[in-house]
Chains A and B, each alone.
Chain A
């Protein structure tokens, strides 16, 4: 138990930050850290192959994927009938026969200055929070956790085409949101 106690004291805060960076909700992050440590206690046979932090982080990653799977499933139940389309829509961003952008995408940069960067990240977070939940979960797994598409599709039970369409939508919404809220 001493060794297990050390997982919490030595790695607990790191695991919490790791979870918070992905889930953004402190309570969810706390809960998933607890689940991770309890799961680790049952899986000690795998221990020893890698440093405890690496091993614990690996378990945490899977717990986060599980959580996203649940969220996407619950979301899917709520909007019954709204299947995942293969056609991305997004026509509102284009004019006429969709050959051209309705409004030209604007040039912007990630600021280097600390204060500005902080504001920039707050705007980005705000824009991510405005994404529909399903898109937000997928975007997080792909862009924050950097899972590959195959892993994501397996976990969420969607096709590769669905995933590409949803990521396209998420990115289209985010870039527009950043233009409206960061540039102006």
Chain B
């Protein structure tokens, strides 16, 4: 039977790659008997969900904008860039 350390590694890796059949079976067996690893798996799932939800909130928050001075700066850099390319 897997140790909890091995099980926790496989749980993490299952978020990054397809586990082999053998790995999946031994992990499933471990999870049947180990509530702690079940809770651990749930925690990692929640972290993934939370991180994505947080990202979406920032991306959709229209109160977060480039400041005016920064826009002016970027605009100037673009103009400069356009001029430099024209000179080619």
Contact = CB atoms under 8 A, between A and B. Distances in A.
Nearest to A120: B50
Interface string A1-44: 10011001000111011101110000000100110011001100
B44 A171 contact: yes
B88 to A, nearest CB: 11
B58 to A, nearest CB: 4
A144 B53 CA distance: 9
A156 interface: no
A33 B81 CA distance: 15
Contacts of B71: 8, 12
Nearest to B60: A17
Please classify how large the interface on chain A is, using the bins under 10, 10 to 19, 20 to 34, 35 or more: 35 or more
Contacts of B40: 101, 105, 175
Residue among B42, B51, B82 with max Cβ neighbours from chain A (10 Å): B51
Please classify how large the interface on chain B is, using the bins under 10, 10 to 19, 20 to 34, 35 or more: 35 or more
A20 B64 contact: yes
Contacts of A105: 36-37, 39-40, 43
Contacts of A22: 55
Interface string B5-46: 100110011011100000000000000000111011011101
Contact of A1 (B60, B66, B82): B82
Report whether over half of chain A's contact residues are helix, strand or loop; otherwise say mixed: helix
A71 interface: no
A93 B43 CA distance: 15
Interface stretch (A62-70, A75-83, A160-168): A160-168
15 contacts: A4-B82, A13-B65, A17-B64, A34-B77, A42-B85, A93-B5, A98-B5, A101-B36, A101-B37, A104-B35, A107-B39, A121-B54, A164-B12, A168-B12, A178-B43
Interface of A: 1, 4-5, 8, 12-14, 16-18, 20-22, 30, 33-34, 37-38, 41-42, 88, 90-91, 93-94, 97-101, 104-110, 120-121, 124-125, 128, 142-144, 146, 149, 160, 163-164, 167-168, 171-172, 174-175, 178
